[in-house]
Chain A
Amino acid sequence: MTRSNAVVHAHRHSIRLGARVLIGVLVLVGILMLIGVGVVRRDAASLLQSGSLLELLGVSGAAIVVVLALVGVYSVMVDFVFWEGWMQSFPDASGLFVGNEEKRSEHRHFLVYLDGIHQSEENHPPRVQEFLNCLESEIDNDSLLVKGIEAYTITNVGLRAASYSRWFWQWLFSLQEHHPNGFVQFVCAFCIQANNVIKVGISSDRRYGPVMNYELALKIARRLEQLNFHPSHASRVVLVGYSGGAEMAIGTAEMLQKLCCSPVQVITICGVFSGNAALESIQDVAMVVGSKDPVAAFGRLAYPGRLSVLPLTNWNRWQRSHCLHRYLIDRMSHNGSSGPFSVAFRQKVVAAICRELERSLVSSSAG
């Protein structure tokens, strides 16, 4: 009995001690929080003064510029290391299409779809996939729609398997897919899109564009090779680029034409492109544009090379010697429920693409 009393007493004592420690810790935390709030209030008050606010804005702006520049430099580095053959041996294009002489494809027109900056892997989002199915059913039997090309990576592997940075992308994808917090998912999606925007920037850069566009053209050519493309039988290659994919399409067109020894044609859907790329030997470029597309309109400002006030840019020079075909779709926006892949506008966009394919075929056979 006495022993059990002693045990109970000891238990009570330990509970009391625990409670005292807990109270002590809570009081300490409370005091620290009060001090913290005081300091934050003092700092917040000093921050609200215009001088400090301007300084904070200046420092933040400078930090953003430096971070963006460094990320851009890293992205360019990957492309050029691949070009140098240091990452893995640079693919040899000398044997392209040689094996296809015997087993050449029945198709004569190859439509290559290049997706917008939302693309993170080979599979397209459901809405885009439905649009592509619709396009596939509308094009002629001798045309083949090539899907699933990752326009923003230069190697055959996607971001998940990219050399050097695969751990980062795998971590980001896993967060995007499994994290319960919507904001974290949004940040991850934003990072992936930012990476693709940087790739669009590299493609449109006068210095880096030629090398990156050649690498992408080689990737597309190798994909065509897998589909039994052969220059002697193919009539043309049509690059269909949506949004940022339009820049990639226009950037790679001339290189792809050289590699495939077949005419290359470009059709942009709500395209955002620079007009810096060389297009001299490309005969047909068409734009499918929405009347309410703010992104494409912003693209014209972000890429001044397309403004008529700069007549010597590649885009304006091309326009002087060729005819640009525009297909304006009323009330169509850039994405979402009023975008080109929406149920409301999908058919109209497909019809515009088919019209352009027919028109260019007629004009080329007439020429």
Chain B
Amino acid sequence: MIQQLSEQLVSMGQVLLALDTGVGLLVAVGFSMSASHLFSLLANRLTPRQILLHMVVDALVLSLALLLCLVCHSLMLALMEGVPLQPITFGNRMAVALWPGLFYVLAAAPYVSDLIAVTLLAWMHLNMMILVNAMYGIPFLHALFVCLPGFVIALLLVGALFSQRWRSSYDTLAKEVALQIQR
């Protein structure tokens, strides 16, 4: 059973290696993630131009967070497995692992958003492990630890950005309610 699963993961790794989409995918994933919290911008009562601007800026910040995640993986590989540090080459080949993030916009759906977000993030992490295994022949268990710190950093950054946006929208709502009651 485990042997079969391992073989399937290896074959998935070969498929991912063949895809080789490059760092450009990071920006697309960033935009998808940014679009997933479009409603927080609407809740803030921003104008369409402001919303567009915020979405672009957020997309770039989120892409940067994901890039930081890849750089962190590269560092961990150098530290734990002695792989020479080549962040640009590494990032270019590893970015394809983030392709499930293209669907992150679906996390905007009400109530099931947590399930969708957790599934996509776990999938991205799994892809990272598979690619590290396929590229450097590192066992899956080692790959899990190599990829974990970068992934956690990316999650914290993404979470911080989203929570800041929502906190700000709740403040807008609280102000609106307070204003109505005072009058």
Q: Name the interface residues of B35-50: CB closer than 8 Å to any CB of A.
A: 39-40, 42-43, 45
Asked whether, in the complex, the Cβ of B110 is within 8 Å of the Cβ of A83, the reply is no
> Min CB distance, A27 to chain B, in Å?
49
One digit per residue, 1 when the CB lies within 8 angstroms of any chain B CB and 0 when it does not, for chain A 55-81 equals: 000000000011011101101110011
Contact of A201 among B40, B42, B110, B176 (CB under 8 A): B110
One digit per residue, 1 when the CB lies within 8 angstroms of any chain B CB and 0 when it does not, for chain A 189-213 equals: 0000000001001101101101100
Q: Name the interface residues of A76-91: CB closer than 8 Å to any CB of B.
A: 76-77, 80-81, 83-85
Evaluate whether A258 and B177 lie within 8 angstroms (CB atoms) in the complex, with A81-B42, A207-B39 already known. Answer: yes
Interface size on B, residues (CB 8 A): 23
Evaluate whether A211 and B110 lie within 8 angstroms (CB atoms) in the complex, with A93-B180, A259-B181 already known. Answer: no
> Min CB distance, A240 to chain B, in Å?
24
Q: Which residue of A lies closest to B119 (CB)?
A: A65
Evaluate whether A76 and B43 lie within 8 angstroms (CB atoms) in the complex, with A258-B177, A261-B181 already known. Answer: no
Q: Name the interface residues of A247-275: CB closer than 8 Å to any CB of B.
A: 255, 258-259, 261
> Complex formed: what's the CA distance from A130 to B45 in Å?
43
Asked whether, in the complex, the Cβ of A204 is within 8 Å of the Cβ of B111, the reply is yes
Q: Which residue of B lies closest to A85 (CB)?
A: B45
Contact residues in B for A81 (Cβ distance below 8 Å): 42
> Complex formed: what's the CA distance from A198 to B113 in Å?
13
For chain A, which range describes its interface: under 10, 10 to 19, 20 to 34, or 35 or more residues?
20 to 34
B1 on interface, CB distance cutoff 8 Å: no
Q: Which residue of B lies closest to A261 (CB)?
A: B181
Contact residues in B for A131 (Cβ distance below 8 Å): none
> Complex formed: what's the CA distance from A205 to B39 in Å?
12
Q: Name the interface residues of B99-131: CB closer than 8 Å to any CB of A.
A: 106, 108-113, 116
Contact residues in A for B180 (Cβ distance below 8 Å): 92-94, 96, 259
Asked whether, in the complex, the Cβ of A72 is within 8 Å of the Cβ of B112, the reply is yes
Evaluate whether A211 and B112 lie within 8 angstroms (CB atoms) in the complex, with A93-B180, A258-B177, A258-B181 already known. Answer: no
B140 on interface, CB distance cutoff 8 Å: no
> Complex formed: what's the CA distance from A46 to B18 in Å?
29
Contact residues in B for A255 (Cβ distance below 8 Å): 177
Evaluate whether A83 and B43 lie within 8 angstroms (CB atoms) in the complex, with A259-B181, A261-B181 already known. Answer: yes
A214 on interface, CB distance cutoff 8 Å: yes
Asked whether, in the complex, the Cβ of B113 is within 8 Å of the Cβ of A205, the reply is yes
Asked whether, in the complex, the Cβ of A207 is within 8 Å of the Cβ of B40, the reply is yes
Contact residues in B for A95 (Cβ distance below 8 Å): 183
> Min CB distance, B67 to chain A, in Å?
26
Asked whether, in the complex, the Cβ of B177 is within 8 Å of the Cβ of A207, the reply is no
Q: Tell me the B residues contacting A by CB distance below 8 Å.
A: 39-40, 42-43, 45, 106, 108-113, 116, 166, 169-170, 173, 176-177, 179-181, 183
A-B contact pairs, 18 of them (CB 8 A): A69-B116, A72-B111, A72-B112, A73-B106, A80-B42, A80-B43, A81-B42, A83-B43, A83-B45, A84-B45, A198-B110, A201-B112, A204-B111, A205-B111, A214-B173, A214-B176, A259-B181, A261-B181
